[in-house]
Amino acid sequence: MSQKKYGIVLDAKNCLNCKACTVACKFENGVEVGDEQYRIWVAEKDLKGTYPNLRLDFEPSQCQHCENTPCASVCPTSATYKTDEGVVLIDYKKCIICKACMTACPYDARFVSEVHHAIEKCTFCYHRLPEGREPACVETCPTKVRVFGDLNDPNSKAAKLLAKHDTYQLKPEKNTRPRLFYIIK
Amino acid sequence: MSAHDTETKQGMVSAIKSLITFNKDIPVMPLIIIGLVLAGIGAVTAVVVLVKGHEAMYAVNREVPWGMLIGTYAYFVITSTGLAFIGGLGHAFGFENFAKIGRRIVVLATLVLLAGFTQILMELGHPVRMIIWMMLSPNFAAPILWMGVFYSIELVILALELYYAFKAHPTEKDHKTAAMLGFAAMVVGTLATSNLGFVFGSLTARPWLYGVHFPLFLVVSGITAGAALLMLVHNIAYKFSIPEEYKPSMDALAKLMGGGIGIMMLMYLWKFLTSIFTQPIGSYESAMALIAGPLAANFWIGEMLLAVIIPLVILLTAKGSTKKYGIAGLIFMIGLYFTRVNYIVAGQMPVMRKATDGSGVHADLSGLGIYSPSIAEWGIFLLGIGVAMVLYFSAEKFLDLKTPEHH
């Protein structure tokens, strides 16, 4: 069993909403064109304050690579599975497109891919990791919003950020225990 | 081929020939023809869907991935297990009024189940892959895996029940076996339906669907549907003038259906109150989508008026009229279709994150996910209805569905 535990720590206040991450993801992973076909997104939060003192925040996100994985639990053919490092992946050849995982995911992180003829989602660019490369969204971000790393390695930048800052996770009430941590401003 | 083999083969052929008859008194030819037309439209649609792909032809989307076809599938297979439940009451528990119509029950349950399978085959992206990988790489925690297991077993049990229902000169042992099969169909059918409820009830992400309500509601409404459909088909077969000998059976079915609607009403009451009281996130939005949102017409007219109020009023005022039972059954079966589609769609309408710019989420002005069935989905629905009509009314026309006296 690998001792690695991959995750991403995000400092969303640095996000410019340039969407370079979403473009990089599409190119890196060959995601087809279409407004329902995307692995990651940058959502605008509600406008805060009153004129002229206004603030607009952004929340970049993707598959949370949950430790308690509802999408894998409902998959009848075990097409969705977790690697030893905790990365949630899909074995496309086993996927029957029953879409149970899409209904089970509380983050709307999955979609039907016409390229793979299967359900698709963020893989943390798992194919790049053996080369020592970071996920495309992490690598391309001009303001380094996302920091990817082994959360079990105390020397990794992600683990250090996690130790240094208070963070929150999305929808903690669902008890999915996501691997994405957002730094509290 | 040995002489013995030839003899066996000839015996089987003559046994099958003896089953086939032509019931000129049963006026179902127009219904068979209508069924053929509907199934034909559905078959053409299926070919177009297979050529162009689900994504191009169906209106289900990222926010609402399950739509009309899952609803139609549920409509058929839950009705089938409801029928099997009623058959079990007759065969295994000695309810003579249901045993008397045993043949119709088992034929209808089998053929309605087959019609349901057309829907799931056209809904799944890879039905062939499903058969392979469910065996090679099963996930025993997944409710859908058990759905496949239970409904497959149910089909085998129904096939065996069919054999015994039509066996010439059944022995005492055959009756005992049939009783055991009836009991098995009842148990497995109930497990299958409640597990189908758990396919939805296991989704913590979807508060409207999550929990114990739907596993139980589907069982209750399935038995109610079984009773409604039996009263309808008996009326059709006997030109809305059911013979006196079946009157007690129809009275018993009417009571079962009325009681079923009563329990459904009770479950509706508490489902809606718990979903509205203090506005729990997710289920509140779903409940309001049904009561006063995009699904309101389907809910009030289809689900409440056609599947609850009108049939119940007809049953309560029928005064033993089997014709009125049939009309109540017909109206209920139309309304129940809305019930099946509504609950699935309503459960997915609350989106998983707010539909702000960049979120990628598509929602209407009230923030709910958007879904309206496409023409192709209607076409596949017609395939299911057409197949059910052709199969069942052909059985009425060409088989003797009158249960023998000794049964």
Q: What letter represents residue B378's amino acid?
A: W
Model confidence over A114-164: pLDDT tens digits?
999 999 999 999 999 999 999 999 999 999 999 999 999 999 999 999 999
Model confidence over A7-44: pLDDT tens digits?
999 999 999 999 999 999 999 999 999 999 999 999 99
**For all residues of chain A together, what is the average pLDDT?**
96
Task: Find, among B34, B353, B316, the residue nearest to B205 by Cα.
Answer: B353
Helix/strand/coil for A149: strand
Model confidence over B185-233: pLDDT tens digits?
999 999 999 999 999 999 999 999 999 999 999 999 999 999 999 999 9
CB contact under 8 A, A78 and B63: no
Model confidence over B223-244: pLDDT tens digits?
999 999 999 999 999 999 999 9
User: Which residues in chain B touch residue A62, judged by CB atoms under 8 angstroms apart?
Assistant: none
User: Based on the number of CB atoms within 10 Å of its own CB, is A128 exposed (0-12), middle (13-18) or buried (19 or more)?
Assistant: middle
Distance from CA of A131 to the nearest CA of B (A): 30
CB contact under 8 A, B62 and A76: no
Map tokens 């013995």 to a residue: B4
Model confidence over B80-129: pLDDT tens digits?
999 999 999 998 898 999 999 999 999 999 999 999 999 999 999 999 99
The pTM score is: 0.94
| Spans of chain B below 50 pLDDT | 407
* Whole-Å CA distances, A169 to A178, B113, B359: 7, 44, 17
User: Which residues in chain B touch residue A90, judged by CB atoms under 8 angstroms apart?
Assistant: none
Domain borders along chain A are 6-183
Query: A71: number of CA atoms within 13 Å, CB side?
Result: 30
- The architecture that CATH gives domain A6-183 is 2-Layer Sandwich (3.30)
CB contact under 8 A, A70 and B63: no
Task: Find, among B34, B159, B165, the residue nearest to B90 by Cα.
Answer: B165
Helices (H), chain A: 20-29, 70-74, 100-104, 136-140, 157-164
Least CB–CB distance from B130: residue in A44, A96, A104: A96
Q: What is the CATH number of domain B25-352+366-398?
A: 1.20.1630.10
**For all residues of chain B together, what is the average pLDDT?**
94
CB atoms within 10 A of CB B276: 14
DSSP state of A172: G
Among A112, A114, A145, A173, which would you mutate to test the B interface (most chain B Cβ atoms within 10 Å of its Cβ)?
Answer: A112
